[in-house]
Chains A and B, each alone.
Chain A
Amino acid sequence: MKKVTALFLILVILLFAGGCWDWRIIDDLAIIFGMGIDPVENEPEMLQITFVNPVFNPKAQEKSITRTLRGRSLQQTLFNLQHQKGEQPVLGTVAVIIFSEDAARGNGMQRTLMQFDQIRDNSPLAWLCIVREAAAQKVLNLNLPDEPRPAIFLADLLKQNYAEGRIPQITASTYWIKTYTPGITPVIPVIALAGPEGEEPNGILLAGLAVIDEAGRMRGSLSDTETLIYMMLAGDMLRGRFYTQIDFPDQTNLVITAFIEKSSSSVKTKIVDGNAVIEIKADLVLNGMNADLAQENILREDVFRELEESLARDIEGNMRRVIKKTQEWESDIFGFGQLVRAQNPQWFKEISWAREYSESDIRVEAAVKIKRLGTLANPTR
């Protein structure tokens, strides 16, 4: 047993000996936790990349430093960063990568992500987002009242909203997995700058989802409400809340907020006359709802049934509208194509799914089950 123990100790000691060559001192590293990518005007090959890294010096005035550099590739920009800062940049802890809308609509996003993917110590779990009508550089230089580091604030914002079921988890790795997988294209959360009217923005808000096509370019975006419909159709809704407006007997445009307990959908596909026919059946279980219903007593079977039917019709309509939008952009963000491939593999091998998707006959049927409403029997009295 002594021999085995000695051997085991030799092994452990030797395993750490590799550090003789690959040691890194944390103070000598530029640990990047946020990156922003913008295009350079009139120079399509160039990228402008903003890096944020923390400051470890306790006497420093700022908690983090933001540097913006230009280069033909991410690697070249990182070299330039090292020349400027003298510290070795490391990407293993990047929490968020922000793209300006211009970079996302051009080839800047796909290019940068491909280069990021090839860096051996990258952070595959870095969140991705696209900023609407602003430069990514601006987001990383914001003066936020409650968090001095916008990159950390943004990463937390995305994480929280994912946990609340309001956006999907889109990281560098999920982006690539969806890009490579036939029958699905990626989405990326969209953010916008916010602040008091007429003043410099000092906040960030989520503003929907960007729809990316097969070539890795942003084709359009879904609104906040449409994002929830996407979540239901893509099967990404773990739990969450949604609001909508429905028509109810004696009430029009009735605003409803509902808590989703369970959202599931089944998809059947078939090929008819060379075209894909996709039949979606979505089931939604609601647990708790806020609605100003003008009823004497809402605890009645017929009120529940009427609400369920109205909501189902509303959700069906919204689903059709969102699907139609993505069909126009030839971007199957829901991954219906994966099911078409699995159910009709031979047909799928011979077609281009992006084009077929835009011409597919997609039928939607929604069913809603309300388990319970709010706390008032007559909310409008």
Chain B
Amino acid sequence: MISRGNNSLSDFSLIAIIVVGTTGANIFYLPRIAAEQAGRDAWISIALAVLPACFIAGLIYLLCRRFPNRILPGFSVLILGKPLGVLVSLVYIVYTLSLCAITLRLFIELAKTWTMFWTPQWFFIVFLLIPVAYTTLQGVAPLGRLMEITLLILLLTVPLVILPAFHQFEPVQIRPVGQEGLLVIGRAIGAIAFPYLGFEVLLVFFPMFAGGKNILRLYLIGLIAVAVLFTGSALLTYTVMGIEYVRVQIWPLMEFLSLGRLPVLERIDNLFLFLWAFKIIGLITVQYYAATATAAGLTGQKYYSLWALLLLPVLYTITTFIGSQVTVFDLAFQFGLWGAVFITVLVLLLLLVAVIRGLDERKGMRKP
């Protein structure tokens, strides 16, 4: 059981955790993979991809509110029994660590291509993981504050994304709207699932929110903010650079950002990358905390700090294990697809069994 006490998070923290925990390095290449799948209507697919995410978010809320004082390992054991509940929690730990590792590698690929060619990979991993471990060890309240600050830094990047579009905005690049057809637009949603993954951390964070009544509304606001960020940046990239040019760029958003310039600021792309490093640390921190809290939930809260340190070498190893740039992108695609399936099945299974067995701690539990 999790006691709220000093570990409670504010409403703003919830939005911050969802936004920061979801948008990673994927924003830099999302316009390309979406354009490859849905052509000129790629922005519609990106916008619509939030709908299945919102649906799953709704299911997660329905599941978590039945157990307002428990996190995933607690209620999964209660619902599925010990062996299956532990297994589900272990798979979730592997899932969150993999999400961290892929995000980390994507960011390293980008940073090493764009600006820090000679900086070794180990340094990136260590540099990004030090604040992650520190924040995780401090507990959920500093994590919430850090996510709020990170969200504010994220807001600073918005004008940087809009700037290159001045005088170069060509709406004809995305016309005619709907040309590719509903089937293509719908199919593309599956291919761009990875960028939206991460919102399921509510499975772990739910008991820490003080304002329990507004959780679903805030959760959806967070997800819609993510969709606006993804769709807006992709839309600007398409209308300025054109679908065909975006398709040939490995990191189209960075190419787009390199077109902007201010009298006092020559390289907007590099500034954006610098600010986005905070965002990457934020995402990894949220997911890493979820993994640590789940592990501690299985073994007992007194081992929380130990898990926070023990999982670091595991994450380091997974990150370095991923091979070349091709493997990183391929893995991100596969993980997006199977990760979405895993989360959907997990939540549906837990909710269904909980409903059938009448497990609901708000009303007082029926004896299982």
Taking beta carbons and an 8 Å cutoff, which residues of A are in contact with B? 1, 3-4, 7-8, 10-11, 14-15, 17-18, 20-22, 92-93, 120-121, 124-125, 169, 173-174, 176-177, 180-182, 335, 338-339, 342-343, 345
Q: Find the residue from B119, B172, B175, B259 having the highest chain A CB count within 10 A.
A: B172
Q: List 6 A-B contacts (CB under 8 A).
A: A3-B142, A11-B278, A22-B115, A92-B266, A124-B259, A342-B172
Q: Does B361 contact A (CB under 8 A)?
A: no
Taking a contact as CB atoms under 8 Å apart, the answer to whether A180 and B248 are in contact is yes
B188 to chain A, nearest CB (A): 18
Which of B131, B244, B278 contacts A180, CB < 8 Å? B244
Taking a contact as CB atoms under 8 Å apart, the answer to whether B245 and A181 are in contact is yes
A342 in contact with B261 given A7-B131, A10-B131, A14-B127 (CB within 8 Å)? no
Q: Does B12 contact A (CB under 8 A)?
A: no
Taking a contact as CB atoms under 8 Å apart, the answer to whether A14 and B244 are in contact is no
A3 to B278, CA, bound (A): 16
A22 in contact with B118 given A11-B278, A173-B259 (CB within 8 Å)? yes
Taking a contact as CB atoms under 8 Å apart, the answer to whether B115 and A181 are in contact is no
A14 to B255, CA, bound (A): 26
Given contacts A18-B116, A173-B255, 12 further A-B contacts (CB under 8 A): A1-B145, A7-B131, A11-B277, A14-B127, A18-B111, A18-B119, A18-B127, A22-B117, A124-B255, A180-B244, A181-B244, A335-B172
| Chain B 241-267 interface mask (CB, 8 Å, partner A; 1/0) | 110110010000001001101000011
- Tell me the dominant secondary structure on chain B's binding face: helix
Which of B116, B146, B241, B261 contacts A7, CB < 8 Å? B146
A176 to B240, CA, bound (A): 12
A3 in contact with B118 given A124-B259, A345-B179 (CB within 8 Å)? no
Determine the chain A residues whose CB is within 8 A of the CB of B98 once the complex forms: none
| Chain B 148-188 interface mask (CB, 8 Å, partner A; 1/0) | 01000000000000000001101011011001000000000
| Chain B 103-126 interface mask (CB, 8 Å, partner A; 1/0) | 000000001011111111001000
A21 in contact with B120 given A4-B149, A10-B130, A180-B244 (CB within 8 Å)? yes
A15 in contact with B118 given A173-B259, A176-B245, A182-B244 (CB within 8 Å)? no
A7 to B131, CA, bound (A): 7
A181 in contact with B173 given A18-B119, A18-B123, A22-B119 (CB within 8 Å)? yes
A269 to chain B, nearest CB (A): 12
How many B residues have CB within 8 A of the partner chain? 44
Taking a contact as CB atoms under 8 Å apart, the answer to whether A17 and B123 are in contact is yes
A95 to chain B, nearest CB (A): 12
A125 to B259, CA, bound (A): 7
A11 in contact with B281 given A338-B172, A342-B172 (CB within 8 Å)? yes
Taking a contact as CB atoms under 8 Å apart, the answer to whether B116 and A342 are in contact is no
Determine the chain A residues whose CB is within 8 A of the CB of B242 once the complex forms: 177, 180-181
CB nearest neighbor in B for A125: B261
Taking a contact as CB atoms under 8 Å apart, the answer to whether A124 and B114 are in contact is no
Determine the chain B residues whose CB is within 8 A of the CB of A92 once the complex forms: 266-267
Determine the chain A residues whose CB is within 8 A of the CB of B338 once the complex forms: none
Which of A7, A22, A93 contacts B142, CB < 8 Å? A7
Taking a contact as CB atoms under 8 Å apart, the answer to whether A4 and B142 are in contact is yes
Determine the chain A residues whose CB is within 8 A of the CB of B111 once the complex forms: 18
CB nearest neighbor in A for B168: A174
Taking a contact as CB atoms under 8 Å apart, the answer to whether B258 and A7 are in contact is no
CB nearest neighbor in B for A181: B242
A124 in contact with B244 given A7-B131, A10-B131, A22-B119 (CB within 8 Å)? no
A8 to B135, CA, bound (A): 10
CB nearest neighbor in A for B177: A342
Q: Does B55 contact A (CB under 8 A)?
A: no
A169 to B240, CA, bound (A): 14
A1 to B173, CA, bound (A): 47
Q: Does B274 contact A (CB under 8 A)?
A: yes
Taking a contact as CB atoms under 8 Å apart, the answer to whether B274 and A15 are in contact is yes
Determine the chain B residues whose CB is within 8 A of the CB of A10 once the complex forms: 130-131, 134
Determine the chain B residues whose CB is within 8 A of the CB of A125 once the complex forms: 259, 261
B114 to chain A, nearest CB (A): 6
Q: Does B327 contact A (CB under 8 A)?
A: no
List the 4 shortest-distance A-B pairs measured between CB atoms, nearest first. A342-B175, A180-B245, A181-B242, A21-B119
Determine the chain B residues whose CB is within 8 A of the CB of A11 once the complex forms: 131, 277-278, 281
A3 to B127, CA, bound (A): 18
A177 to B293, CA, bound (A): 48
Which of A14, A20, A120, A124 contacts B117, CB < 8 Å? A120
Determine the chain A residues whose CB is within 8 A of the CB of B145 once the complex forms: 1, 4
Taking a contact as CB atoms under 8 Å apart, the answer to whether A124 and B116 are in contact is no
Q: Does B138 contact A (CB under 8 A)?
A: yes
Taking a contact as CB atoms under 8 Å apart, the answer to whether B135 and A7 are in contact is yes
A173 to chain B, nearest CB (A): 5
A174 to B242, CA, bound (A): 11
Determine the chain B residues whose CB is within 8 A of the CB of A8 once the complex forms: 146, 149
Taking a contact as CB atoms under 8 Å apart, the answer to whether A120 and B113 are in contact is yes
Taking a contact as CB atoms under 8 Å apart, the answer to whether A345 and B267 are in contact is no
A66 to chain B, nearest CB (A): 23
A339 to B111, CA, bound (A): 38
Which of B123, B131, B176 contacts A343, CB < 8 Å? B176
Determine the chain B residues whose CB is within 8 A of the CB of A345 once the complex forms: 176, 179
Taking a contact as CB atoms under 8 Å apart, the answer to whether B138 and A3 are in contact is yes
A18 to B117, CA, bound (A): 10
Taking a contact as CB atoms under 8 Å apart, the answer to whether A17 and B127 are in contact is yes
A14 to B130, CA, bound (A): 9
CB nearest neighbor in B for A238: B167
A276 to B217, CA, bound (A): 51
